Amino acid sequence: MDVSWNSCIKRHRENILDGRVKKMKTNYHTHNELCGHAGGTIEEYVKKAIELEFDVLGMSDHLPFPGDAFGMRMKFEDLKTYADETKRLKKAYKNKLRIYLGGEAEYIPGYEKYYEQLLNKMGFDYLILGQHFYMNGMYYCANVYDDMKTTKDVMTYAKSAMQGMATGYFAYLAHPDLFFVNDFKVDRQLKKAVDYLLNESTKRNYILEWNANGLRRLTTSYPNAYFWEEVAKTNIPVIIGADCHSVDNLYDWAMEISEKKAKEMGLHVIDHLEIK
Ligand SMILES: [Zn+2]
Ligand SMILES: [Zn+2]
């Protein structure tokens, strides 16, 4: 995969210099400084999107859970500020850009009321499902980065994602292939889990996200070649997410390569979400 990526990057840079690349004008996976590990205010992302002549900018910062049970995300006390500020900007820039208030969250069974409150009371336009954590058994909340020991764990991850997909709370599944941060070999167990996940996505016509941030890590973890070649055999809708943690990453080389590679692979790429 390394070799093909490198040649893809090289060819792609040539195209960029030629000005031959048609850029996407939407992004639904955008963080900001409130999560504590991203730079830039919400308004700075809005201004950048306008500069890039975007049609749509969906803000989707890492959502807290009541009691701040998980790290790497905004504090629960900042949730209202995040929502209010995004709504303010939505109005202020309405003639220049369509802004959506979204959030990225894990699906943890038992928090149904919370997701409903976000969507029905707090005015969130959409949520995206990012299973950085998932329930392993009744009581243990596992972390994709630290707790996945064997490819057998991929099935537990996949099942938790499928549970989240079934709730209807989430517009799409972000970085479905995140578990490859564990450098797993594609074995029988892993293939079985990927089959399960892709069958479920096909059945539900559920959108999966090609995550450009994986490329920025400059490892071969994700987007993963095996995973996306399997997706390419289906008609599952695929959205490309910048997953930007800095304003400069809203549309950068990782996004350009993502667009080109997804097209080359014949993925069924969509660039708009239907948001009521
Ligand atoms: Zn993040
Ligand atoms: Zn994200």
CA of residue 134 to ligand 1 center, whole Å: 16
**Inside any domain, residue 196:** yes
Residue 155 tokens, joined: 């099935």
**Inside any domain, residue 75:** yes
**Inside any domain, residue 195:** yes
**Inside any domain, residue 211:** yes
**Inside any domain, residue 51:** yes
The pTM score is 0.92
In tens, the pLDDT along 10-58 reads: 555 555 555 555 688 999 999 999 999 999 999 999 999 999 999 999 9
Task: Give pLDDT, residue 9.
Answer: 53
Element (H, E) at 240: strand 237-241
**Inside any domain, residue 276:** no
**105 alpha carbon, closest ligand:** 2
**30 alpha carbon, closest ligand:** 2
CA distance 260 to 274: 23
Beta partners for residue 229, in sequence order: none
CA of residue 19 to ligand 1 center, whole Å: 31
Q: Using a CB cutoff of 5 Å, list residues around ligand 2, an ion.
A: 104, 243
Domain hosting residue 240, numbered range: 2-16+24-270
CA of residue 18 to ligand 2 center, whole Å: 31
In tens, the pLDDT along 83-142 reads: 999 999 999 999 999 999 999 999 999 999 999 999 999 999 999 999 999 999 888 899
Could you tell me which residues come within 8 angstroms of residue 212 by beta carbon, excluding any fewer than 6 positions away? 240, 241, 242, 243, 249, 252, 254, 255, 257, 258
- CATH code of residue 119: 3.20.20.140
CA of residue 227 to ligand 1 center, whole Å: 22
Considering its fold, how many domains does the chain have in total?
A: 1
**36 alpha carbon, closest ligand:** 1
**Inside any domain, residue 181:** yes
CA torsion angle for 149, 105, 58, 73 (degrees, to 10)? Answer: -90
**Inside any domain, residue 159:** yes
Q: What is the mean pLDDT of residues 189-211?
A: 98
CA distance 199 to 39: 37
CA of residue 103 to ligand 2 center, whole Å: 9
